Amino acid sequence: MNVKNYIPILQWLPRYQKSYLKGDLSAGLTVGIMLIPQGMAYAMLAGLEPIHGLYAVTIPLILYAIFGTSRQLAVGPVAMVSLLTAAGIASLSPESPEQYLVYALTLALLVGIIQFGMGALRLGFVVNFLSHPVINGFTSAAAIIIGLSQVKHLFRIDLPNSEHIQEMAVALYYNLGNLHWITVGIGIVGILIIVYGKKIYPAIPSSLVAVAVGILLVWGFDLANQGVKIVGDVPSGLPTLSMPSFDLQGWKLLLPIALTISLVGFAESFAVAKTIQAKHRDYTLDANQELIALGAVNLGAAFFKGFPVTGGFSRTAVNNEAGAKTGLASIISALLIVLTLLFFTGWFYYLPSAILAAVVLVAVSGLIDFKEPLLLWKKDKADFSMLVATFLITLTLGIETGIISGMVLSLLMVIYSASSPHIAQLGRVPGTDVFRNVRRFGNLEEKQDVLMVRIDGPIYFANVKYIKDTLDRWIKRKGAPLRMLVFNFESIPSIDSTGAHELHEWIKMWREAGLDVCITAAKGPVRDVLSRWNLIAYVGDDHIFLDDQSALAYVENRLAQDIQERYKPYATQSN
């Protein structure tokens, strides 16, 4: 066992080059500055005190640098996972902030165990069941729900902690008359600074500038005494060891949301890591090791007063653009947060909640994708339907239901595709030995007494009925002159026991009806299955061919002999 495969820092750290330091230092400081307002905002979104957002980007960042295979991925709180955390814990109706925190720590523990376990068991492929349209629909709907959840902080009105858009819309309608206009003004200023600050000067940490402006406005004009809600006392010092709950009943209640966060968090993290890795190509990503790394990260969050975290789109993009070359950039970001926790938390006393809401709103606005649905509408109606269904279910029935429904829809689409494989009726290109699909090519040579078919997919229990119904329809269309069915097996990767049994029954039935069968171009593994189930012997060695042309030549010769034998008595009588 090579330890370096499980602790990737041992691969890049010994080969670290001095030229990397400038980029890592720049990226580490940039992302660290970015993480301060984002971490606090996402902690608030998760229903926790803002300080826990800073705790969630200390130990977890260092753990990912040790165990992660991406050199640029920046882990920490993200909007989606924070909202899932809030939604899952709210459903348990915690009795106090202390119990809420224990639930958050326990949720991080469960996510860590699930992700680490999936990585150890090499289950990274599971994320493939979240198709792109499902992720797109789910993400867009969740972004809307996240945005609405921050309206109460932006407007300072009472809204329910709900993940159902209909409930939030009704509550918003009845509370619009209670807006706190000073808070609204601060929030709008924050949004404008964050949005236009980047456009004016991309390198500027616009979120941190918005935080500074918000603090100065509240402090300078004494807005806290005029109803503006502020963060208040932020504890200083490093996170102490925390203890999640090990109550099995609590684990049972949190398990569904933990599974959802594990899958969604990994899907988001691996997607952005893969996108960035494609731009570098000087290292490889390992999906299973990424699961182990994210598991370790969340276990670290659970025992150091954090909450569930994962790799984030915006931070990773900034990390890459700022020049990150290795995981040292993440370690530098964590050290900057440590300095903030030790010396600068007092600066955030006057930070208005509306500014943190503005940070979240701007971040999630980029998650709403309008282009993808329009593209799918033009190019793939099935995927468009799946996207819309996931979007609507997530909006109306909740995030957890939405992601589970999306996975079910993805699986149903896979099952549907697998149960109805493409089947082509073949004809010969004139003057050649090449055979093509008669529906896609014109002027192909077809014989009325021969039906040549190619099945593009496995023959197994889920699709045997579809294949048989299609063949029966084509055989009926050919009519009485049909004498030979030529099966092209070149696109069949496998045949299961049901497929082999059904194939035997079909051939038996067709031959009893006077329709002979040949098989061509079967691959080695498929020939092994045919041999194991005695189908080669049943069909006959003289009916198994390497290619379609050899089969057709045999069929033409065989049919000519049959005709000659049929008319031989008449020739004898005439003599």
User: 472-496: string of b/e by CB count within 10 Å (b at 16+)?
Assistant: eeebeebeeebbbbbbbbebbeebe
Q: How far apart are CA 492 and CA 494, in angstroms?
A: 6
Distance, in Å, from the CA atom of 25 to the CA atom of 329, rounded to the nearest integer, reads 6
The 3 state secondary structure assigned to 276-326 is: HHHHHCCCCCCHHHHHHHHHHHHHHHHHCCCCCCEECHHHHHHHHHCCCCC
Query: Does the pLDDT of residue 233 top 80, yes or no?
Result: yes
Token look-up 């007063």 returns 305
Taking 90 as the threshold, does the pLDDT of residue 87 lie above it? no
Three-state SS for 525? helix
Residues 373 and 452 both lie in one domain: no
Q: Are residues 72 and 30 in the same domain?
A: yes
pLDDT score at 267: 83
As a whole number of angstroms, the distance between CA 464 and CA 542 comes to 26
The residue among 390, 412, 434 that closes a domain is: 412
**How many angstroms separate the CA atoms of 43 and 32, rounded?**
16
Tell me the per-residue pLDDT of 416-458, one tens digit each, with 9 for 90 and over.
Answer: 888 899 999 999 999 888 999 999 988 888 888 899 999 999 9
Q: Could you say which of 412, 433, 468 is where a domain stops?
A: 412
Q: What is the mean pLDDT of residues 365-376?
A: 86
Residue 88, φ and ψ in degrees, nearest 5: -65, -40
- Exposed / middle / buried, residue 366 (Cβ in 10 Å: 0-12, 13-18, 19+): exposed
Tell me whether residue 158 is in a domain: no
The whole domain housing 305 covers 19-148+231-348+367-412
The verdict on 399 and 426 lying in the same domain is no
Q: Are residues 252 and 294 in the same domain?
A: yes
Q: What is the mean pLDDT of residues 539-553?
A: 90
Q: Are residues 387 and 477 in the same domain?
A: no
What is the C-alpha to C-alpha distance for residues 209 and 221, in angstroms, rounded to an integer?
A: 18
Quote the CA–CA distance of 68 and 7 in Å, as a whole number. 8
Torsion of CA 516, 520, 524, 525, to 10 degrees: -50
Domains in the chain: how many in total?
2
> Per-residue pLDDT averaged across 464-487, rounded?
92
**pTM (2 d.p.):** 0.75
pLDDT tens digits, residue range 175-199?
Answer: 888 899 999 999 999 999 988 887 8
Cβ 383 vs Cβ 135: under 8 Å: no
pLDDT digits (tens, 9 = 90+) for 489-517: 999 999 999 999 999 999 999 999 989 99
pLDDT tens string 372-400: 899 999 998 888 999 999 999 988 987 77
Instruction: Indicate whether 174 belongs to any domain.
Output: no
| Within a domain: 208 | no
Distance CA 163, CA 146 (A): 8
Q: Whose structure tokens read 């989606």?
A: 80
Residues 305 and 424 in one domain: no
Q: Domain boundary at 412, 431, 466, which?
A: 412
Average pLDDT for 30-39: 87
Same domain, 91 and 67: yes
Whether 38 shows a pLDDT value over 90: the answer reads no
- Distance, CA of 558 to CA of 575 (rounded, Å): 25
